[in-house]
Structure 1
Amino acid sequence: MIKAVVVHEVGGPGVMHIEEVEMPKPGPGEALVRNHAIGLNFIDTYFRSGAYAPPHLPFIPGNEGAGEVIEIGKGVKEVKVGDRVAYLSHLGGYAEACAVKASRLIKLPKAISYETGAAMVLKGLTAQYLLRRTHRVKKGDTILVHAAAGGVGLILCQWGKALGADVIGTAGSPEKAKLAKKAGARHVILYREENFAEAVKKITKGKLCDVVYDGIGKDTFPASLDCLRPLGLLASFGAASGQIENFNLGILAQKGSLYITRPTLNTYAAKDEDLHKMARDLIRVVADGKVKIPYVTRPLADIVAVHEALESRATTGATVLIP
């Protein structure tokens, strides 16, 4: 038996309970991973609340983790027992162990701890596709990062600066602004105190941004469009404040033939070869020290309080759960 977080009905953080469940068995093509660290992500709240439909009830939430392979199923050649690995986009992570498709496991070099692995994979690969594929950031680009002190935001700031971009961030408090600046944002706008679109115009002297990376959603739309130069791109990759509602496409023409996309990591990393290519890119910039993964650790037993803090935007960086 192992301990796991189990959700019997969707709802608020209180629907999560620590229970004993059977140790999973790896099926054909799967590996059993003993979790040493578990990643916390906003998508976890979507499944818990029912915003994203879980595949069944009850279910174990959690989409990211890192640990040691302790058993392999039939036909597995990608990993072996004892390998240090990380995984993502696999429900069932909030547990002491889980069975994962072996071809999706990412091998961790010894230089990267389990805690860093659990903190970086989902958020880091999100930053990777946003910066290298959704809009391929190059030297001289101006980018706007909403929630710049969040888990994805801090990685976007660091990696964007390393690529030669001029990074502008938004944050909800002076403390969060300091973190974003330390991560590489040249300017940070306190969105609760000033109109961020007007501030972007002043900072850029009217030239505006090449791309806006927005994981907030409803609260930052459509003002984010006013931060873009003609032909600029809004990458709306999350909806922490709620989903963007229907809007008139003509607005994009009026504001300069703008582009808008709602990308997801699942699409960009759907093919195993793409996932591993992206992971190599991420591991390289982390191992080189260009991107540091800030995180705090909390016991898995604190999961209700951890979700409450995440949804109230009281967190910065990543939170790693220790089973």
Structure 2
Amino acid sequence: MNAIQLFQHGGPEQLVWRNVPTGEPRAGEVLVRTTAVGVNFMDIGVRNGQLWRDQPLPLIPGVEGVGEVIALGEGVQSLTMGERVAWVYAQASYAEHVIVPADSLVSVPASIPDDTAAGLMMQGVTAHHFATRFYAVKPGDVALVHAAAGGVGLLLTQMIKLRGGRVIARVSSADKEAIARAAGADDVIVSSDGRFVDEVMRLTANEGVNVVYDGSGAATFQDSMGSLRHHGVLAYYGPVLGSPPSINIAALPRSIMIGFPKFSDHIATRDTLLTCVNELFEWVGSERLKVTIGQRYPLREAARAHIDLQSRRSTGKLLLIP
């Protein structure tokens, strides 16, 4: 099979298109022919050496996708040959075939296209965690969503609106404003320098927001804290883009709370994975949630997808198509 391999950490040029052995599924595993593979910021962290430092090189990046079951390992009875499945965290997904533990796979409803399902997995589960559990949005809550025209931001905006919240979206350029508004954002702030707190306070009559979802890195951290009202919550999830500055916890203003929502905590068991993903599929099937695919690239052009994602030029979900 063909796959993208990483032989040394570094820039996008280190992503190499190679022919590699396909492999056979072991007990409890499934071999899947991929039809759509998701691109995520964590893949950039793997490529540049911030993540998976314990993994020997060469390795195949990627953790999510959609495909068709073509071989079953011993003991797998929950899936059938030819079934369409999706996964949210299986290493080596940048490939024409991937071996995935059966318990990590979910069946894709016939009404959900492959690219939509791929766009829902990592970023959909992440947004679901943010809006339903880490800070469970209530009717009337006001949320500040960073990178609101990106894959997570667009899904998160819609979920906040589904739960009765108000969204103040921040985007990095004026051309992204319409995209954020189309997802349901009530107000949009265009800011690329990390300064936006004055506009947030103007839009909230100096009260601030209940929650900030900040995946934009260290540059936005101070104004994100400053945008919170009393007992507000800052969900920080952008370590690949830079760690926040050191904090004197005793100096935090207005009794605010800061946390790091860890992806795996939301789907710690197969039951919680199925509950989350089935709700996402139901929202899409009922047209209450729309997945925006920003760009599709041939799998061999993974480097170009990384360049576009890292430059912040892209909107929506980026996919690799084998």
TM-score normalized by structure 1? 0.96
2:234 maps to 1:234: yes
How far apart are the structure 2 equivalents of 1:44 and 1:302? Answer: 14
In the TM superposition, residue 165 of structure 1 has moved relative to its aligned partner by 0.6
Asked if structure 2 preserves the Cα contact closer than 8 Å seen for 1:103 and 1:272, the reply is: yes
| 1:263 has 2:261 as partner | yes
Mapped pair 1:127 → 2:100:
no
Question: Following superposition, which runs of at least 4 residues in structure 1 exceed 3 angstroms of deviation?
Answer: none
Q: 1:103 to 1:194 in 2, by over 3 A?
A: closer
- Work out the CA distance in 1 between the residues paired with 2:238 and 2:29: 30
Does residue 39 (structure 1) correspond to residue 38 (structure 2)? The answer is yes
**What is the distance in 1 between the residues matched to 2:232 and 2:160?**
17
Q: Deviations over 1:35-75 (max 9, x none)?
A: 00101111100011101124221100011100111111011
Residue 144 (1) aligns with residue 137 (2): no
Q: Which moved more, 1:127-136 or 1:268-277?
A: 268-277
Query: Counterpart in 2 of 1:274?
Result: 272
| Residue identity matched to 2:258 | I
**1:16-52 deviation digits (Å, cap 9, x = unpaired):** 1000011121111111110001011111000111011
Identity %: 37
Cα distance in structure 2, aligned partners of 1:45 and 1:194: 22
Residue number in structure 1 paired with 2:190: 190
Point out where structure 2 has 5 or more consecutive residues left out of the alignment. Answer: none
Give the Å deviation of 1:77: 2.1
Aligned to 1:22: 21
SS at match of 2:121: helix
Inter-partner Cα distance in structure 1 for 2:92 and 2:284 = 26
Amino acid at match of 1:144: L
Q: Partners in 2 of 1:273 and 1:194 — Cα distance?
A: 39
Matched to 1:321, the amino acid is: L
CA contact (8 A) 1:217 1:244 kept: yes
Partner of 1:213: 213
Contact 1:219 1:241 in 2 (8 A): no
**What is the distance in 2 between the residues matched to 1:95 and 1:72?**
18
SS in 2 for 1:216: coil
1:39, 1:64 within 8 Å by CA — same for their partners in 2? yes
SS in 2 for 1:279: helix
Matched residue SS, 2:99:
strand
Match of 1:173 in 2: 173
Task: Report how far residue 222 of structure 1 moved.
Answer: 1.7
Q: Deviations over 1:230-266 (max 9, x none)?
A: 11100012235312132211232xx111111111212
Q: Look up the SS of the partner of 2:312 in the other structure.
A: coil
Equivalent position amino acid for 1:293 in 2: V
**Per-residue CA shift, 1:271-295, capped at 9, x if unaligned?**
1111111111111111111110010
Distance in 1 (alpha carbons) for counterparts of 2:97 and 2:192: 41
Task: Identify if the C-alpha distance between structure 1 residues 194 and 234 changes in structure 2 by more than 3 Å, giving closer, same or farther.
Answer: closer
TM-aligned CA distance change 1:46 to 1:139, over 3 Å:
same
Deviation of 1:108 after TM superposition, in Å, equals: 0.5
**3-state DSSP class of the match of 1:200?**
helix
Q: How far off is 1:83 after superposition?
A: 1.1
List gaps (5 residues or longer) in structure 1. Answer: none
Task: Please list the CA deviations of residues 146-179 of structure 1 after superposition, one character each: whole Å capped at 9, or x if unmatched.
Answer: 0000000000111111211110010011111110
Match of 1:244 in 2: 244
AA aligned opposite 1:166:
R
Partner amino acid, structure 1, of 2:234:
L
Q: Which residue of 2 aligns with 1:6?
A: 5
Tell me the distance in 2 between the aligned counterparts of 1:199 and 1:250. Answer: 27
Q: Secondary structure at the match of 1:220?
A: helix
Q: Is the 8 A contact 2:50 2:240 kept in 1?
A: no
Larger displacement relative to structure 2 (296-305 or 4-13): 296-305
State the alpha-carbon separation in 2 of the partners of residues 61 and 204 from structure 1: 42
Aligned twin of 1:161: 161
The equivalent residue for 2:111 is 111
1:301/1:262 CA distance change after superposition, 3 Å = same
